[in-house]
Structure 1
Amino acid sequence: MNLRIGSLVWGVQDVPRAIRFWCEALRYTPLRPPSEDWAILVPVDGAGQQMAITLVSSDPQTHQRHHLDLYASDRAAEVERLLGLGASRVDWRYPDGADYVVLADPDGNKFCVVQK
């Protein structure tokens, strides 16, 4: 098994505002220049978990807006292992060349398994 949390992915409706807030709150900084709909934040001192900020249109009261990205050296094997543990596949519209698979834990919480 070679699976680890790669990012906590945070869905927001205002990416620049979220970047300002979380960078100040956690002493984080953008890993690289953010786009209008995506940013990766990392601890200023280098110690701690990476956080991704992504633009969403959903309402936080009715939709899951946060999830884990789990990084895998062998995505296919990890997906099969997680399915065997009780995860389920999620019907998802993937972009061409997607490096991730969306699954749900036994309680229905979605997460991504990303090839790294």
Structure 2
Amino acid sequence: MLRIGSLVINVSDTGRSGDFWVGALGYERGANPEFLHSPDGSGPRLHLDTTDRTHLDLWTDSAAEQAAEVDRLVGLGASRVPWDYPDDADFVVLEDPGGTLFCVIDTSR
């Protein structure tokens, strides 16, 4: 089932922004301090990033589910975005009909 796995937020200072979001949401820092999560693991993670644009990461549980969801989303009006993918990419970049980018990620990798 497709779900919001994380919200990538473009910030100028990951430490300062992390401190704010930890206090605001009661989230905790992960092993990588740029990744914040709720104490019980429910809800989406926050990924603080100084170089990436703000966008949603939508998670799937397998490569087959990822492919099916990408096809379904394209059928709803999303478009594939030309992207320079690394060889081991676990994500597909799409844009909604308004041009907002988002990723569909296979979390099984």
TM superposition score category, shorter chain reference? 0.7 to 0.9
Amino acid at match of 1:90: V
Separation of aligned partners in 2, 1:109 and 1:101:
14
1:82 deviation in Å? 0.7
Distance 2:3 2:40 in 1: 21
Specify which of 41, 51, 64 is matched with residue 56 of structure 1: 51
Q: Residue 35 of structure 2 aligns with which residue?
A: 40
User: Residue 85 of structure 2 aligns with which residue?
Assistant: 94
1:68 corresponds in structure 2 to 56
Report SS of the residue matched to 2:97.
coil
Secondary structure, aligned partner of 1:95: coil
SS state of the match for residue 67, structure 2?
helix
* RMSD of Structure 2 on Structure 1 (CA): 1.7
Residue deviations 1:34-59 (CA, integer Å, cap 9, x gap): 2xxxx2101235443321111217xx
CA distance in 2, matches of 1:33, 1:106: 33
Structure 2: gaps spanning 5 or more residues: none
Cα offset, 1:86, TM superposition: 0.3
Relative to 1, partners in 2 of residues 1:81 and 1:46: Cα closer, same or farther, differing over 3 Å? Answer: closer
After TM superposition, the score normalised by the length of structure 1 is 0.80
Q: TM-score, normalised by structure 2?
A: 0.84
Runs of 4+ deviating beyond 2 Å: 44-49
